[in-house]
């Protein structure tokens, strides 16, 4: 990797006894006779069966019929079988194990809307409402193996519906609430969806957003869709198709509060989560009852130490993997999940911190992009609120730059609260690398791989390297791995297993520094190669964001007949800053000074916004395609499609 990018610098946080003494990781290692974290990593990756069995036991995953074998590799490392002969339904581990105990009265779920309407549900109340929803689904003929979509705002009802689908043995299909009709239809049709949960709409920045018309339009293109359950959330008038559409209150609220839980095989499909591809149809990652939820709870326990009395809020939508991750992880661990339907800076820039104070949030998951948008407002917004409940910050979705990481750590966190950086993906069911309460932190870094993940960094020859940028890989199976892509086994093998034999290649560039800290530098397919020098977008973007006028940046490479590629940088300016040739030259000189003149940007382009997903991930492949006037592939996950057109015009 070219340039002088510093991978995090010095250690800035060391764990105190208040973090380490009673941490899940500490208790787990004591329980299973593990001396330290290094030994845990060695045992968990060299003896996958031992570690997986220990995790299932530690998390109290309930089985109706015990498994006879933890893992079966007869089909090869890409297609392992898990918990052979085991029977369970993950709902038993999320809710039913608490019923009839003192834990039934603990708060399981809190939701808040932009208008500050708050819903609190205890474990007992949530269990009863899930039972009612399950009975409603069965009343209209839905059951085991039926694919049921979720196209709803982030309210208590979406969690109830999510869990009810699992309870009847159905297959959950989460859909981003900002999708257009084409994206909803393509995913439902690909999965042969039989039903869809939706709502009249929701508020965003005080403006009503209607989604029932989108669902209606999508349904026209899904011949298998027979039922639509509609939540009246806004109180607006919507059309209801007789025979197909069911009002939530009429179908569900009058149902009995007891319901039978469908017994499923451990490897029965629980959920399909679609991820956007660069071309062609989206990929449907297949997850099972003993897969995704177990990995989610493991990472949440070992990384952010969530448990009874802890409230975790990760800013996400149910359509992204972090939504299901949040639900399954917190409930299996007996914690409280918080969800919010609205903009995190509406009506004021202190809204996020206000919610932390009001709901006593202990773990707050953010994105680097969000933090960069809050920095220009200064320290007053967070200083107005009591943030003493916070134990952990966490982040995922994209690489940090040091300035924004340090602002969150020092200014908001008082240099006392760790930022648990987390990176993996939908097909992982969580993380490959992650911080944790037992290990120190460097800015922007990951302390280590997640326990059970045999991660490594390979160079172009397939050799393990340290201190060099290479491909992030995994060398052993883990229980959360996707069971392939829905109806597309070849694409799954081609995507992850085709580079080196029996090696999962994740598609991210990474580096491990001399102190053993890990850094993710962005997607390897985003890499720019200029005159033979390999350049990571995050490296350039970190430099550019260092300018006091720039709040966001995206770097792409475009074809050059002599150098192979040349660099184009898009910048979003902070409020009060305006484009000028002088500013453009300042940014250009910053890159030249840090990277060298051969890597100087051909153009610096100022734009109002960058194309992003709801979880604030900047979509560089879409930026590049738009700038080159090429087909951008699947753009359905974007929350701001107008940004694409601005980039297209910039050429």
The DSSP symbol for 450 reads P
pLDDT in tens, 28-62: 999 999 999 999 999 999 999 999 999 999 999 99
Which CATH number characterizes residue 435's domain?
3.40.50.12780
> 508 and 537, same structural domain?
no
Q: Is residue 432 part of a domain?
A: yes
Q: Is residue 280 part of a domain?
A: no
> 168 and 236, same structural domain?
yes
Confidence band for 649, pLDDT divided at 50, 70 and 90: confident
> 512 and 409, same structural domain?
yes
**3-state SS class at 16:** coil
- Domain of residue 201, residue span: 124-259
> 440 and 312, same structural domain?
yes
Residue 535 has pLDDT above 80, yes or no: no
Number of domains comprising the chain: 3
> 517 and 642, same structural domain?
no
The Cα–Cα gap between 409 and 13 comes to 9
Q: Is residue 1 part of a domain?
A: no
Which CATH number characterizes residue 635's domain?
3.30.300.30
Higher pLDDT among residues 545 and 69, named by residue? 69
Q: How far is CA 247 from CA 69, 164, 174, 176, in A?
A: 45, 16, 20, 21
Q: Which of 470, 491, 522 is the last residue of a domain?
A: 522
pLDDT at site 525:
67
Confidence band for 614, pLDDT divided at 50, 70 and 90: low
Q: Is residue 427 part of a domain?
A: yes
> 88 and 131, same structural domain?
no
Q: Which of 458, 488, 522 is the last residue of a domain?
A: 522
Q: Is residue 300 part of a domain?
A: yes
DSSP symbols for 52-116:
HHHHHHHTT---SB--SEEEE-TT-TTS-EEEET-EE-HHHHHTGGGTTSGGGGSEEEEEEETT-
> 530 and 513, same structural domain?
no
Q: Is residue 116 part of a domain?
A: no
pLDDT in tens, 543-577: 899 899 999 999 998 888 777 788 999 999 998 99
Q: Is residue 499 part of a domain?
A: yes
Q: Is residue 361 part of a domain?
A: yes
> 62 and 42, same structural domain?
yes
The Cα–Cα gap between 18 and 244 comes to 54
> 243 and 324, same structural domain?
no
pLDDT in tens, 107-123: 999 999 999 999 999 99
pLDDT in tens, 215-234: 999 999 999 999 999 999 99
> 73 and 136, same structural domain?
no
> 250 and 318, same structural domain?
no
Which CATH number characterizes residue 243's domain?
3.40.50.980
Q: Which of 487, 522, 557 is the last residue of a domain?
A: 522
> 339 and 461, same structural domain?
yes
pLDDT at site 600:
87
Q: Could you tell me if 403 and 543 are in contact, meaning their C-beta atoms sit under 8 angstroms apart?
A: no
Confidence band for 630, pLDDT divided at 50, 70 and 90: confident
Sign of torsion over alpha carbons 429, 430, 432, 436: negative
Confidence band for 369, pLDDT divided at 50, 70 and 90: confident
């Amino acid at each position: 990797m070219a340039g002088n990018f510093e991978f995090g610098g010095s250690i800035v946080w060391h764990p105190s006894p208040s973090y380490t003494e009673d941490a899940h990781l500490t208790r787990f290692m004591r329980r299973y006779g593990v001396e330290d974290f290094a030994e845990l990593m060695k045992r968990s990756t060299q003896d996958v069966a031992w570690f997986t069995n220990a995790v299932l036991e530690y998390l109290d995953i309930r089985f109706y019929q015990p498994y006879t074998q933890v893992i079966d590799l007869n089909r090869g490392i890409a297609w392992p079988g898990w918990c052979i002969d085991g029977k369970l339904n993950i709902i038993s581990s999320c809710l039913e194990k608490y019923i009839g105990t003192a834990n039934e009265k603990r708060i399981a779920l809190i939701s808040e809307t932009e208008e500050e309407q708050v819903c609190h549900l205890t474990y007992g109340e949530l269990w009863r409402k899930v039972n009612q929803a399950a009975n409603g689904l069965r009343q209209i003929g839905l059951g085991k193996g039926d694919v049921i979509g979720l196209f709803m705002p982030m309210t208590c009802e979406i969690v109830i519906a999510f869990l009810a689908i699992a309870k009847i043995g159905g297959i959950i299909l989460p859909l981003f609430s900002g999708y257009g009709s084409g994206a909803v239809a393509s995913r439902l049709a690909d999965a042969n969806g039989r039903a869809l949960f939706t709502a009249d709409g929701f508020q965003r920045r005080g403006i009503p957003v209607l989604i029932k018309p989108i669902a209606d339009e999508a349904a026209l293109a899904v011949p298998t869709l027979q039922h639509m359950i509609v939540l009246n959330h806004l109180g607006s008038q919507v059309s209801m198709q007789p025979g197909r559409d069911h009002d939530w209150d009429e179908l569900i609220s009058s149902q009995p509060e007891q319901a039978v839980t469908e017994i499923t095989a451990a490897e029965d499909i629980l959920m399909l989560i679609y991820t956007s591809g660069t071309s062609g149809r989206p990929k449907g990652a297949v997850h099972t009852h003993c897969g995704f939820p177990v990995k989610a709870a493991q990472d949440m326990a070992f990384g952010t130490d969530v448990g009874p009395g802890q409230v975790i809020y990760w800013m996400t939508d149910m359509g992204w993997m972090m939504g299901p991750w949040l639900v399954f992880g917190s409930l299996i661990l007996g914690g409280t999940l918080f969800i919010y339907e609205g903009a995190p800076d509406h009506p004021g820039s202190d809204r996020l911190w206000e919610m932390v104070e009001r709901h006593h949030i202990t773990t707050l998951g953010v994105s680097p992009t969000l933090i960069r948008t809050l920095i220009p407002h200064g320290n007053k917004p967070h200083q107005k609120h009591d943030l003493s409940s916070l134990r952990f910050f966490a982040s995922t979705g994209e690489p940090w730059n040091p300035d924004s990481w340090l602002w969150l750590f020092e200014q908001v966190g008082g240099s006392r609260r760790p930022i648990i950086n987390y990176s993996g993906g939908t097909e992982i069911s969580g993380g490959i690398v992650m911080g944790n309460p037992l290990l120190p932190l460097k800015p922007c870094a990951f302390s280590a791989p997640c326990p059970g993940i045999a991660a490594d960094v390979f160079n172009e020859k397939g050799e393990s390297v340290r201190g060099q940028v290479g491909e992030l890989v995994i060398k052993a199976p883990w229980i959360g791995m996707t069971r392939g892509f829905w109806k597309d086994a070849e694409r799954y093998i081609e995507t992850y297993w085709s580079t080196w034999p029996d090696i999962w290649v994740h598609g991210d560039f990474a580096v491990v520094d001399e102190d053993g800290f890990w850094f993710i530098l962005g997607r390897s397919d985003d890499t720019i190669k200029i005159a033979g020098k390999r350049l990571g977008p995050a490296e350039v973007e970190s430099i550019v964001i260092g300018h006091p006028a720039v709040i966001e940046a995206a770097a792409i490479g475009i074809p050059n007949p002599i150098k192979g590629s040349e660099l184009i940088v898009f910048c979003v300016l902070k409020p009060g800053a305006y484009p000028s040739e002088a500013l453009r030259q300042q940014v250009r000189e910053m890159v030249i000074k840090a990277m060298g003149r051969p890597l100087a940007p051909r153009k610096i382009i100022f734009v109002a916004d960058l194309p992003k997903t709801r979880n604030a991930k900047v979509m560089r492949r879409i930026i590049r395609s738009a700038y080159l006037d090429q087909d951008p592939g699947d753009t359905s996950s974007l929350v701001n499609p107008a940004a694409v057109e601005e980039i297209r015009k910039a050429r």
